[in-house]
Every structure is written in C-alpha cells, then in structure tokens.
Amino acid sequence: MKFTKFGVKLFCFFLLVSLVPLGVVGTIVYKYVHDRTKDEVLKQLESTAYNLNARLNLLLTKRTYRVVDFSSDGFIRDCVEQMSLIPPGYSHIRDNLNTHLIINKKGLDPNILEVEILNDKGKVIASTAQEQIGKVKSHEDYFRVPFLSSETKGTFFSGDHRRSESHNELQLVFSTILTDKVLHRPLGIIVTKVKGNVLQEILDIKKYYTDKEGLTGSYGEVYVVNKDKLMIANSIDSGGVSFKQTVDTKVVQEVMATREEYSGIYENYKGMQVLGTALFVPEANWVIVAEKNINEAFLPLAKIKYFFIISGVGAVFLVCIFAFVISGNINSIIRKLIEGTRRIANGDLEHPIIIGERKDEIGELGESFNLMMNKLKESNEKNKQLFLQVKRGRDEWLNTFDAITDIITIHDKDFKILRANKAFYEKFNVNTAQLSDKKCYGIFHGTDMPWHDCPLEKSIESLQPEYEEVDDPKMGGIFLISTYPLFDEQGELYGIVHQAKDITFQKKVERQLVEKAKELKMVNKELEDFVYIVSHDLKEPLFAIGGYTSRISRVYEDTFDDKGKLYIDRIRVNIEKMSQKIKEIMEVLKIGRVTYNFKNNDIDVITEDVVKTLEGRIAKNKINVIIQDNLPVVLCDERRIKDVLSNLLTNAIKFMGEDKQKQVKIGCEENGGYYKIYVEDTGIGIQEEYREQIFKIFRRLNEVEAEGTGVGLAIVKKIVEQHKGKIWVESPIKDGRGSRFCFTIPVIERP
Ligand code: ADP
C-alpha cells in the first residue's frame, strides 16, 4: 500500500504521541534513580571513609600511647639520664638499654620494627638496630618537632616513611620526649618505628569489607594517600601497595589544599570515572579515598534503562501496528478522496466516491463529498448556461463595438489604448501589438504629447465626459471627439472611452448653410432696399397721378358726366390707398433701418405709460387690465418696446369681442437667459392656423370688423427681432378663446 503524505504524518503522529510520554517518564525516572543512586553510593562511600578514618585515628592514638608508655619506662629514663651525665663511658649502660629495648619493647610487639633513643643532640644513643647507634638524626622530624616545638607536648607521629631506599616498605614513626625524673628536663627522645602493615590491617578486606559493598576491587576500592601523593594502603591489595602508586589526581590535590572533604564524580588515578569521597586526615596529612566505578555504581540504572528501551521498543512496535492499521485505513479513504478530487478536477462529475457503509465522521465526509460533487454538477450546469450567456453578450458587444463606424477606443490613464474597434484599426492601420508601445496621441495625431484641448486629458482631470471638435489633417478630417470616464467598484477612474465621430461632411453642410444664410440675408437686404427704393420712387409718380387726377377733375369738371366723375373719384381713392400702403411699407422697412438706443429700462414704467395712453379706450370698453408686480429692468430701446406693448394692448382692446369678463394681463417670466413678456387677453382668440400669418404685413383676419391696416404685428415682430428676441402667440383658454402674445428679450445687463 502506498501511503499518502497525510498517512505518513498520521503514522508519525501516533509514534510521537506514544513515544514522547514514554521518553519523558523514562527520563524523569532515570534522573530520579540516578540521583538517588548517586546519593546513596556517596553516602556509603562517605561512611566507609569515616569508618576508616576512625580506625586510623585509633591506630595512631594507640601507637602514640605506646611510645609515651615507653618514655615513662623508669629503666630507660635512668639509663638515658646516666648516659647524659657520663659520656662517653656508658657502653655497659647502653648495652643494657639496647637489650632492654630489644627484649622488653620490640620483643613484645611484633609490629615494631625498631626502637631507638636519641640524646638531646639528636644522636642515636641506643637502638634495637645496632648499626644505627652513633648516627646523628637531629634533622629528622621525629627529633626536631617534639624536641624543639612546644606545641606537640613532646609527642609526635612523624608519619609514614620508607624503610630504606632499597625497600619500598612503609614504616610509621612515633616519637616522644624523654625527661629526667626530678626536674623533667628533656634528655632526648624515644622513637618507635612500626611496620606499615598495621595500616594495611585496618583496611583488611575480609575484616572490614564485604564483596557486597563492592570495595574489594570488583569495582571499588578504599585507599590512603600520603602527602607526597603516594598510595600507602589499599583495600584491594592486602600485601600492601606502599609507595608503588602515585595518586596525583585533582580530587587529592584539592582535598590536600583545602583540607576539606570532597564527594562526587571524578576521574581517579586509573583514569576511570568514579563516584567517590576523599577525606583529609590532618594528624598525618593523609587523604582517605573511597570510590566506586561509576558504571558499576549506576548498574541499577542500566536495568531501568533497559526496561525503558525494551518497553519503548515494545510500545513502538504496538504503536506501529496500531498506527499502520489506523493510518492505512484513513490513507485508503484519503486516496479515494484524492482520486475523486482529481476526477472532479478533470471534469468527471459522474462517478461518486465509494467508501463503504460507515456511520462515523469518515462516512459523513464521503457523503458530503458526493453531495458536494452533485452540487458542483448542478452549479456547473448553471455556470455553463451563464457562460454561454456571457459569451453571447460579449460577442454581441464585440460585434456592436466593431460595427460602429465611429472610431471607438478605450484608454488607460497613461494615454495607452487598451482596446479599439474595427474602425480604429482600419483607419490607422496598426495592429494590437503596436498599441502597447504607443501613446494614443502618437497614433491619432502623430505627436509626442497630447493634442491641445485634448478631451481625454480633460476627462482624466475633471472625471466628466468631455467633447471637442478636432480638425487635424493627420486624422484626415474633422472629428467630434467625445470622452467618457470609466470607474471601478471603488469609484476610481480606471479608463476612458474615446469616441471619434467623423463630422467632416456635416461641417461642410453646416458651412454651406451659413454661407447660404449669409447670402439669403444679403438678398433679403437687397430686396428690402429694392422695395424701399421702389416704394420711395413710386411716391413721386403716384403724387403726380394724384395731382393730375385732381387737375382733370377740376378742369374738366363740366365735361365729365356722373359716370366719369365716379371713375375719377375711384382713381383718387385708390391713389390714397396706394399712397397709404407705400407709407406703411416704408414704415415697416424703416423699423429695421433705424438705430436703436439700447438702455436699461424698467418694463414696469413703460407698461404704466402705455396703459395710461390707452386709458380712455380701456375704460370705454370696460376692460380690466392687470399688470404684474415688479416687472424687470431690461436692456432695450424704450420707444420701440413702448410701440410693441402699445400695439399688443391696442389689439387686445380691438379684438376683445363681447365677452362678459373682459380682461388683459401684462406680465413677465425669466426663462433660460430670456425675459418672456406677455400680453394676454380674454378676447376672440386666433385660430391655430393663423397664428404665424398674422405677423406678416397686411395680414388681417376678417372675423371681427375692426379698424387697422394689418401692419402692427409686422412692426412688432421687426422690433422684437432687432432685440434678438422672438414673438409668438398662444391660446391661454382651452376652447381657443383668448390670445397670449409673448415676446422675449435676452437677459443682458448693460452698465
Ligand atoms: P390690424 O390690427 O391693423 O389689423 P395687426 O397686424 O395688428 O393689424 O393684426 C393683424 C391681425 O391679427 C388682425 O387683423 C387680427 O385679425 C389679428 N389679431 C391681432 N391681435 C389680435 C387679438 N388680440 N385677438 C384676436 N385677433 C388679433
């Protein structure tokens, strides 16, 4: 079975979970047992060292008493006293003394090697060893210290000595002062030299130690080191190891230097790690050392260690089996899930995963997985539909984008073109790759900086749509450029739509129209001039005709019969009419020719004036005239506007008809840079189709008999136009009754 990474991790986790507590407990137990073992072994070693020290002290005390006992021997004291008094003839005394020493002193103690007596000069005067007699030993400690120092109270253990250079044999030397009986004057000293074996005896293995204690050489030992760092006794060498072994270890050095006890782990003279106690013996400057091999001292620990290792291995084995089974199970499920996921990733939503009948979380996981797959299938279907819709939308958008004949481009804020329609590519002959290299103004205008008044640049600044007409030969015509900023969800500008509409043709037509309008104006002017001149020129012949007609009728009054007279009258009436018409035509034309005196005039005042002038007619016709309060101050020619209002008010009176409620209202509204002044009546009204015509000269409607020539409104129109305004009529009442004449004057204030 191939394990998944998760399976391996799970396996490791089980292993870790089981081994860590085992390791922790093992370490704590090991440490505890180690410390306890160490304490106990050290306690045991300390006790051994103290016991040996006690035995050693006993030995030294016993031996010291022995020599003191010798010094109180009357015979010895007498002999020495005599020998000090009668030198050198004391050979018999000396012989007796020697014999005494050999028989009664050395002879009684097999451990005594030698007994000798030195006089106050340090010379050997008697000895159990004949050859020593006569030698001077004043330099020896055992002479100098008790004899010359008062601190020792005359008794001294001079410590360990080599017996001779040839033998490496140990002897212990004890000495004490000999005094005379009466005055207690020092006579010399008595010295006993004891076999080193006595020292070895107190370390006797069989007597004092058992194998159980482990100090008999199996893995531990007890030994004594003298001040020269030489081993002078050892529990494992019953024969004595005197002076054979140097023990210059750090522990011995330290104990000798500090004269204090040491316990712990250290390296012994064999280079072996040991647990040991070193005790200083001040009486002899010795160090008692009791130590055990560390490996063996901690042998119980090894058992614990093995226990934990075996338990660990056992636990690992069990855990391995357990973890293997569990993680193997989970592993196979994970594998199935991975395979299922891969299948989904590859678009296969038809095969659910099968992990068998399980009531646990894994079973739930499998069910959830299959549920998820079904949901995914459904959502996939929806997504497909959505995708198709989006694609269709996108295609439509693209097709529309490309179908538009205007050049449309989408730019970023750095004047780079992000997207462009077909019209653009056709116009500028660039490909998509080239777009990323170039700035838009380079492509559109062939410049290395934006076009002056560039709307794109303006939109980037204003964040508003901008428009500009651009006439650039490089673009090959006149274009109306429109730019529209694009914003993201956060309202940040991310691009600008740039539309270039070719308006070259419209512009051409526009210019032609302007030209045509100019021409028309000129023709009109010429026509007006012509009419004016003709009218003016007609006046004279008409006057002449009139004159001659009058003369004919006067001169031939009697010649004409009634019919002729009627004809002559008709000619005169028509000449009158024609003359009047010519006058009116010239009046209308004059309106366009006179100079206007534009000033700020209060319409309030002008209206009041006009109404006052027509007061009589208003009263006569019982018309209620309402003038709006606060009519504005307007830049206009006072006289002409008075004519306008007078004409309109006169017409309102004239065409009021016989309605009961006769009312004229004069008012003004300000609207889009214009004042709209109106004169509204409740009169007979004007039918829709005539509302334009009435402004033409001589045009009158025949509904009501009223005086007039049909010139008034033509003059009014001319005056309004001279003020750059418009005039029209509307019906304020629904059934077509009443008229509202409105005219505009721009709101311009002239200082
Ligand atoms: P006149 O008043 O001399 O006839 P206008 O040019 O002033 O000439 O008027 C032209 C015609 O417009 C009038 O004859 C009349 O038919 C019509 N008209 C003018 N004002 C009004 C009005 N307030 N109500 C009805 N008809 C009017």
Q: What is the pLDDT of residues 133-146, one digit of tens each?
A: 889 988 888 887 77
Let me know if 626 is exposed, middle or buried by CB neighbors in 10 A (0-12, 13-18, 19+): exposed
Instruction: Work out the average pLDDT over 158-163.
Output: 69
Mean per-residue pLDDT of the chain: 86
> Residue 656 pLDDT > 80, yes or no?
yes
Report CA(713)–ligand 1 centroid distance (Å). 7
Instruction: Work out the average pLDDT over 353-357.
Output: 76
Q: What is the pLDDT of residue 146?
A: 74
> Residue 207 pLDDT > 80, yes or no?
no
Q: Which two tokens stand for residue 52?
A: 């040996």
In this structure, the residue with its CA closest to atom 21 of ligand 1 is 651
d(CA 315, CA 324) in angstroms, rounded, equals 13
d(CA 323, CA 611) in angstroms, rounded, equals 116
Q: What is the pLDDT of residue 355?
A: 73
Report CA(167)–ligand 1 centroid distance (Å). 173
Report CA(657)–ligand 1 centroid distance (Å). 12
Q: What is the pLDDT of residue 158?
A: 66
Say which DSSP state 743 is in: E
Report CA(720)–ligand 1 centroid distance (Å). 17
Are 456 and 432 spatial neighbours (Cβ–Cβ below 8 Å)?
no
The answer for residues whose C-beta is within 8 angstroms of residue 665's C-beta and 6 or more apart is 625, 626, 628, 678, 679, 680, 681
Instruction: Work out the average pLDDT over 110-137.
Output: 90
> Residue 155 pLDDT > 70, yes or no?
no
Lowest model confidence (mean pLDDT) among 50-54, 150-154, 599-603, 656-660? 150-154
In this structure, the residue with its CA closest to atom 18 of ligand 1 is 651
pLDDT tens-place string over residues 5-38:
776 777 778 777 777 887 888 788 888 888 888 8
Q: What is the pLDDT of residue 249?
A: 92
Q: Which two tokens stand for residue 435?
A: 């777009």
Q: What is the pLDDT of residue 602?
A: 95
pLDDT band, very low/low/confident/very high, at 152 (cuts 50, 70, 90)? low
d(CA 372, CA 365) in angstroms, rounded, equals 10
Query: Helix (H, G, I), strand (E, B), or coil: what is residue 122?
Result: coil
> Residue 148 pLDDT > 70, yes or no?
no
Lowest model confidence (mean pLDDT) among 431-435, 486-490, 703-707? 703-707
Beta bridge partners of 486: 495
d(CA 500, CA 494) in angstroms, rounded, equals 20
The answer for residues whose C-beta is within 8 angstroms of residue 372's C-beta and 6 or more apart is none
Report CA(678)–ligand 1 centroid distance (Å). 16
> Residue 177 pLDDT > 80, yes or no?
yes
Nearest to 685 by CA among 676, 677, 694: 694
Report CA(716)–ligand 1 centroid distance (Å). 12
- Ligand 1 atom with least separation from CA of 704: 16
Lowest model confidence (mean pLDDT) among 200-214, 305-319, 350-364, 369-383? 200-214
Lowest model confidence (mean pLDDT) among 134-138, 157-161, 237-241, 670-674? 237-241
Q: To the nearest 5 percent, what fractions of the chain are helix, strand and coil? A: 50, 20, 30
> Residue 353 pLDDT > 70, yes or no?
yes
Q: What is the pLDDT of residue 142?
A: 83
> Residue 428 pLDDT > 60, yes or no?
yes
Q: What is the pLDDT of residue 165?
A: 54
Q: What is the pLDDT of residue 506?
A: 92
> Residue 228 pLDDT > 90, yes or no?
no
pLDDT tens-place string over residues 515-565:
999 999 888 888 887 888 888 888 888 899 999 999 988 888 888 888 888
Report CA(623)–ligand 1 centroid distance (Å). 18
- Ligand 1 atom with least separation from CA of 681: 23
Q: How many CB atoms within 10 Å of residue 66?
A: 18
> Residue 368 pLDDT > 90, yes or no?
no
User: With pLDDT > 70 as the criterion, what percentage of the chain qualifies?
Assistant: 92
> Residue 357 pLDDT > 70, yes or no?
yes
pLDDT tens-place string over residues 29-71:
888 888 888 898 899 889 888 988 998 888 888 888 888 888 8
pLDDT band, very low/low/confident/very high, at 3 (cuts 50, 70, 90)? low
Instruction: Work out the average pLDDT over 159-164.
Output: 68
Lining residues, ligand 1, CB within 6 Å = 651-652, 655, 681, 683-684, 686, 694, 699-701, 708-713, 739
Instruction: Work out the average pLDDT over 639-649.
Output: 95
Taking the whole predicted model, whether its pTM rises above 0.75 is answered as no
> Residue 390 pLDDT > 90, yes or no?
yes
Phi, psi of 664 (to 5 degrees): -125, 135
- Tell which one of 694, 696, 704, 709 to mutate to probe ligand 1, the residue whose CB is within 8 A of the most ligand atoms: 694
The answer for residues whose C-beta is within 8 angstroms of residue 255's C-beta and 6 or more apart is 261, 262, 278, 279, 280, 287
Q: What DSSP assignment string belongs to 169-218?
A: -EEEEEEEEEE-TTT--EEEEEEEEEETHHHHHTT-HHHH--GGGT-SSS
- Tell which one of 701, 703, 707 to mutate to probe ligand 1, the residue whose CB is within 8 A of the most ligand atoms: 701
Nearest to 60 by CA among 144, 171, 172: 172
Q: What is the pLDDT of residue 395?
A: 92
- Ligand 1 atom with least separation from CA of 702: 16
Instruction: Work out the average pLDDT over 425-445.
Output: 87
- Ligand 1 atom with least separation from CA of 652: 23
Q: What is the pLDDT of residue 612?
A: 95
> Residue 575 pLDDT > 70, yes or no?
yes
pLDDT band, very low/low/confident/very high, at 386 (cuts 50, 70, 90)? very high
pLDDT band, very low/low/confident/very high, at 211 (cuts 50, 70, 90)? low
Q: What is the pLDDT of residue 88?
A: 61
Report CA(449)–ligand 1 centroid distance (Å). 64
Instruction: Work out the average pLDDT over 403-411.
Output: 93
